[in-house]
Structure 1
Amino acid sequence: MEDKKKRNAKPAEETPLKEITENEADALHPEDSVETAGECMRQHEASKWPVAEDSKLVGMVTQENPDWKMGGMGHDPKAWKVGQIMSQSVAFCYEDEDLGAAERMMNERGVDHLPVVDREMRIIGILSRQQIKARMQTVEKNDGDD
């Protein structure tokens, strides 16, 4: 007899992002130094990272190791602000979109981390490829348990 839960289960790709985006958004602020941005991005192993003001998404640091690059160009990464180097063109997904949409956005934009926002553009979390992979594996494992 087929388990009712399995019969009604949705594929992992259809999981709403708000169900798996539980982490606090560790976004940068436009007034943070470029040095802080570089440290944050290395900590998260990210080549791009969101920037928020009053919890709302306003931009993205799109340069990997921006502090090292600024220093290499003879600029002081402590003196430069994130707002001076951020891009205002940002890849993101809404919390009510599904995992499949987030994965497609990551693939299209070539990013490993994606801000997840509500409809007022407040960041509710940052989704990583690792979280997507883990969710897919969990669902596949549970589907295989009979």
Structure 2
Amino acid sequence: MKVSEIMSRDVRIASPDQSIADVARSMSDAEIGFMPVGEHGRLVGTITDRDLVVRALADGLGGDTAVRQIMSQDVKYCFEDEEVEAVARNMGQLQVRRLPVVNRDKRLTGVVSIGDAAVAEAGSAGAALNKVARPGGQHAQ
């Protein structure tokens, strides 16, 4: 099964110049915890609800702080034509719960979560989720 068959296509995109308060409101309104950050049609970062807490609130940054100051710039992504099983394994190795999905022109087309993969590929997603749940990873502080 291809990632394009299971990914979420209704994706909100944050701007690097947007305030973190605005992004937090958008996340709250949409009941999401992850947003890709785009600039000039390109994926330049990601921001999570955890980033808002650990990189902003915990450091005393105000709501007017620009997303670019706290976003993750080392963007991990997958391609929409990749197999779900391979992407789920990669998510486990990277210890991430969500990945932006791009086409071969590297334009954002969606977001895939480990939960999406769990529904599609129970075995590989379970193994990936076990790795993602381990302490450490990209956002460990």
TM-score (norm: length of structure 1): 0.68
Answering whether residue 82 of structure 2 is matched by residue 97 of structure 1, we say: yes
Partner of 2:56: 70
Poorly superposed stretches of 4+, deviation over 4 Å: 39-42
The offset of 1:20, in angstroms, is 2.1
Deviation sequence 1:53-87 (CA, Å, 0-9, x none) = 2442111226715157524433212x111122222
Within 5 Å, give how 1:41-52 maps onto structure 2: 41=27, 43-46=31-34, 49-52=35-38
The offset of 1:92, in angstroms, is 0.6
CA separation in 2, counterparts of 1:86 and 1:112? Answer: 16
For the residue of structure 2 that corresponds to 1:116, the secondary structure is strand
Answering whether residue 49 of structure 2 is matched by residue 57 of structure 1, we say: no
| Structure 1 residues 24 and 55: CA distance shift in structure 2, 3 A | farther
Deviation sequence 1:11-63 (CA, Å, 0-9, x none) = xxxx11122225222222212211233345562245xx421124421112267
CA separation in 2, counterparts of 1:105 and 1:39? Answer: 30
> What residue ranges of structure 1 are gaps of 5+ in the alignment?
1-14, 138-146
> What residue ranges of structure 2 are gaps of 5+ in the alignment?
123-141
1:128 aligned residue (113, 117, 134): 113
Of the two, which has the highest radius of gyration?
Answer: 1
Sequence identity (%): 30
CA separation in 1, counterparts of 2:78 and 2:54? Answer: 29
CA separation in 2, counterparts of 1:23 and 1:62? Answer: 18
CA separation in 1, counterparts of 2:37 and 2:76? Answer: 12
CA separation in 1, counterparts of 2:86 and 2:13? Answer: 21
Q: How many residues align?
A: 120
CA separation in 2, counterparts of 1:117 and 1:20? Answer: 13
Within 5 Å, give how 1:1-146 maps onto structure 2: 15-41=1-27, 43-46=31-34, 49-61=35-47, 64-66=50-52, 70-77=56-63, 79-136=64-121
CA separation in 2, counterparts of 1:112 and 1:72? Answer: 22
